Chains A and B, each alone.
Chain A
Amino acid sequence: MANLLIFIADFVTAMLIRATGQKLLLSRRQSLEYLNLPKLVKNSANINAGDLASLIYLWNPLTIVTCLGLCSSPIDNLMVVLTIYAACSRLAPLAAFGYVLATHLSLYPAILILPVILLLGYGPDAPPAKLFLHKSSNSDGKDPSNNDESRSAVTTHKPVRCFSRRPVVHFMIWVSIWSCYVLFLCSIYLKGLGGLQEMFKKTYGFILTVGDLSPNIGVLWYFFAEVFEFFRNFFLIVFHVNILFMILPLAIRLKHRPCFLAFVYTAISAMLKSYPSVGDSALYLGLLGLFANELADMQFSFFLFFGYIGVSLLSPVMHNLWIWRGTGNANFYFATGLVYSCLQTVLIVESVSTMLKHDRMLRKHVIA
């Protein structure tokens, strides 16, 4: 029974990723056409990002391993992808549902509120707004004969992105409705067991205070096993603020691409969360496929690909050596964890860098 639920969740996630990819592709085509860059559309590797991303998600060995291990990660991932898809399609109630459940199941998808609001307000990913302004001002200036045409183009094809507040307000209302409902159900269920306070202490409190230090593929467990009691709270705050700190700078730079922003947030929280697992990395690797067109010339892709394979193979071996055979050391296993977080860092940094380069390239084409 649990098997079936998890497999279905996995499959639905893949389908939602595909649907999101199709929406993104549509939006990309529209914006490129509006910016009069059809040759770019033909020249660049015009992959169907939705299909690719869903295939990557389904066939990723990490996702398969997560499903076989009967983790609850596929359900967390389903909720996150549901949020992103619904926000792309401007379905505020569904997005609110996905968001509330994703936050309820694990604390970290709470940071997705920013990309979701941007998605609902602005719509799916598009080149920077300045390009559209530039384009419209250029077209106004250059071709006065086509004034009516261009103005109609402005109004019909791709209007200048303005922040529409209505979906966002709807979203907020639905978030409050869904969260009240979920908390109400939880309080009924936990009536004899300590109520909501106990639930928050044991779920969110546990995530934030890092009580259990069993080895996992992250770096926090060894760190907190070694650090002295005096500094423990300080380092807890440092690690959690590291996730929060990056929200604003990324949002400022990537506000025209909220889906990509969501991907970057997912990747950051998968790296820096207190109890990471391969299920989290399965999610962001799947979402990575959605941006295959823009990230086609990412540096270090070879290194990253084989790095992931290497770490996936070495990490269980080192774990076995340490815990089951007693011949290895904790350091072997921790080394693979360090390499894994380095790989994730490189992936995040390079993907952001490539996306920004892509935007610069678009700007070069538009202005030139």
Chain B
Amino acid sequence: MASLRPLSRGPFLLLLIFFVFSLSLLRPIQGNGGSDGGGGGEEFSEELLLKPLPDRKVLAHFHFRSAAPPSAANGRHHHLFPKAIAQLVQKFQIRELELSFTQGRWNYERWGGSDPISTRNAKPPGVELWALFDLPTEEIDPTWKNLTHALSGLFCASINFLESPTAYSSPYWGFLSNNGNLRYGALPREAVCTENLTPWLKILPCRDKAGIASLLYRPSIYKGYYHSQRLRLLSSESKGIILEQTLTVVLQPNSYTSSLLSSSDAQLQPSWSLSQLFKKEMTGKCVLAKSSKIFLELERGLLEKIVEIRDDSWIGKFDGQVGSSLYEYKVDNSNENKPLDVGITWKLPLVWSSVHAPFQASRFLMGSGNERGSIAISLQSTQTHDQYFGDLNDCTVPVIVLQVVPWYVKVYYHTLQISIDGKPQTLSDVIEKIQVTPSEDKLLPGTLEIMLRFPCSMLSATLSLDFDKDSYTLTNILQMSYPDYDVSDDSSLLHNLQEKYLVRSYTEVLLVPLTTPDFSMPYNVITFTCTVLALYFGSLLNVLRGGLVRREIISQKDSARPGLVPLYFLGYLPAKE
């Protein structure tokens, strides 16, 4: 047909154009990182550290690190780095941020207090959030408020309770040195559950489907003695954004011998492996990870005599902190057929203790009754005390104590007393620097930052502060569902002069009982009080008026006398005599 010929060329041309167009669209999707500069340079690495603890438990520390290069453009594409976090950093101008969700208390005596893991990962129970902003001072508080809301939505937690000024404080130098752009808040009562873990895992490139994060068997984690998930952001112009996510879990391995807890000295420590702890073995790394490693840390000297490592495929051995050995396993080589199951078997029972920090910090309440009391912070020197301080005579230890107290607990800072080894000291001898931000009712929590200098040879030191307790009102108690209020813990930073080693430890959360009026009867109280007021008002006015009635009667007899008050007024008042 003559009419069909031009038509047969048209569709062919159309098809050609369509094909070329689709090729140009498809190319960026197929390309690897580095094609258009936006997703370039991002890297992700994952690690897992396993370590047996002295009290028959196992420490598992998951560490995920994502780095994004600096980029000046807004709305860049991300290949591995989570876009939500990058947007957060950009919108709120965050320089540094740390958010941790913790359940359980880190047992400093049994699990150690001075190695980097416990220093950085032993967090207070509940939620702790602190952030350093790159903004002028007056913009920081509204930005903090928006940040808490954004994080609350991102992690399905009630971090938005930290928005009001009564919940956060801005320490000047007690926590980190800063120029007034640090905000610190903590919620000790926040319960942590899988609802918080799932969004945290969603930020990882492989989520929990592949790689080390696939080991996270929820029942094991939440049956543990301590678990803390932490997210840390560091952002700078030169280095870009670095996101570190760590999950620290202390588990009790289930084995038949561990159920007999009568005398742990003579019992064999429970043997464990990944499959026992997490019900799963490593079957391959996350393909997007640059490196994926598992480390097993053992105290030096344990290996040869006491412990047998189950999987022999470790590729490297390093010296870890303070006399331990690290065995490195590479996850790359494992797959479905050749799973990696790291673990140890104990050959002989052993009791040992981990390395402690030079001082053990604890906090407690003194006094009885609901009117007043005292907070006391005590530092006890531990067995490893001598190891830190070589020459005991003329060295001093600087200790920084940061204490944030809510406004309900009215602390009298002038009652600060410090005693070393039981003997009270004059404050000017011991205190090097002190900064107090007193609390204001319903507005600000009270912050105390002290830098103290203790002699190395001291055995114990105690700081005590007196306080008055406030009482509840109906509106306040509706915001908090518990009658006692938590004073979230403080952190003490111990500096060791010789090794420039910063050790941070958190003390316990204090539960302060406050007086509670009877909230079941607001109506009764208001009625009683108003009745008393009405009695006073009515009777007094009645008495004052009472004489006037008589005067009316009298003056009606001799009508020439002018009354004090116009008499027609009296007709309107009820007569009662």
Contacts and interface: CB of A to CB of B under 8 A. Distances in A.
Interface of A: 211-215, 219-220, 222-229, 238-239, 242, 245-246, 249-250, 252-253, 271-272, 322-326, 329-331, 334, 338, 341-342, 345, 348-349, 352-353, 356, 359-360
B533 interface: yes
Contacts of B526: 223, 226-227
Contacts of B471: 213-215, 225
Contacts of B518: 329-331
A227 B476 CA distance: 12
Interface string B433-457: 0000000011000000000000000
Nearest to A324: B369
B275 interface: no
Nearest to A206: B441
Nearest to A239: B533
B459 interface: no
Contacts of A331: 518, 521
Contacts of A338: 528-529, 532
9 contacts: A213-B470, A226-B526, A249-B544, A323-B515, A324-B369, A331-B521, A345-B535, A349-B540, A356-B544
A348 B536 contact: yes
A225 B550 contact: no
A352 B519 CA distance: 38
Contact of B547 (A223, A245, A360): A360
A226 B470 contact: no
A242 B533 contact: yes
B12 interface: no
A352 B517 CA distance: 36
A253 B532 contact: no
Contacts of B515: 215, 322-323, 330
Given A223-B526, A323-B371, 12 more contacts: A214-B470, A215-B471, A220-B529, A222-B525, A249-B541, A253-B547, A322-B370, A323-B370, A329-B518, A330-B516, A331-B521, A345-B536
A271 B539 CA distance: 15
Nearest to A335: B528
B222 interface: no
Contacts of B547: 253, 356, 359-360
Given A349-B539, A352-B543, A226 B533 contact: no
Contacts of A225: 471-474, 517
Contact of B519 (A214, A226, A250): A226
Interface string B453-486: 0000000000000000011111100000000000
**Which 5 A/B pairs are nearest by Cβ-Cβ distance?**
A226-B522, A324-B369, A345-B536, A330-B517, A349-B539
B370 A324 contact: yes
B368 interface: yes
A326 B544 CA distance: 45
B369 A323 contact: yes
A220 B371 CA distance: 19
Given A324-B370, A331-B518, A349-B539, A211 B441 contact: yes
Contacts of A360: 547, 550
B526 to A, nearest CB: 6
Contacts of B525: 222-223, 226, 334
Contacts of B529: 219-220, 222-223, 338
B537 interface: yes
Contacts of B349: none
A349 B543 contact: yes
A229 B477 CA distance: 13
B371 A324 contact: yes
- B: interface residue count bin: 35 or more
Q: Which of A222, A329, A348, A359 has the most CB of B within 10 A?
A: A222
A66 B517 CA distance: 26
Q: Which of B529, B547, B565 has the most CB of A within 10 A?
A: B529
Interface string B491-531: 00000000000000000000000011111011001101100
Nearest to B535: A345
B542 to A, nearest CB: 8
Contacts of A359: 547
A356 B517 contact: no
Nearest to A231: B526
B528 A242 contact: no
A355 to B, nearest CB: 10
A342 B441 contact: no
A353 B546 contact: yes
B474 A228 contact: yes
A18 to B, nearest CB: 29
A222 B517 contact: yes
B15 interface: no
A213 B516 CA distance: 11
Q: Which of B536, B546, B565 has the most CB of A within 10 A?
A: B536
B564 interface: yes
A341 B528 CA distance: 11
Contact of B441 (A212, A245, A249, A252): A212
B253 to A, nearest CB: 44
Nearest to A354: B543
Contacts of A349: 536, 539-540, 543
Contacts of A272: 533, 536
Interface in B520-577: 521-522, 525-526, 528-529, 532-533, 535-537, 539-541, 543-544, 546-547, 550, 564-565
Interface in B334-383: 368-371
Contacts of B539: 345, 349
B540 A227 contact: no
A227 B543 CA distance: 31
Nearest to B542: A349
B532 A227 contact: no
Contact of A326 (B370, B533, B536, B537): B370
B564 A348 contact: no
A23 to B, nearest CB: 26
A342 B472 contact: no
A345 B532 contact: yes
A227 B474 contact: yes
B544 A253 contact: yes
A334 B532 CA distance: 13
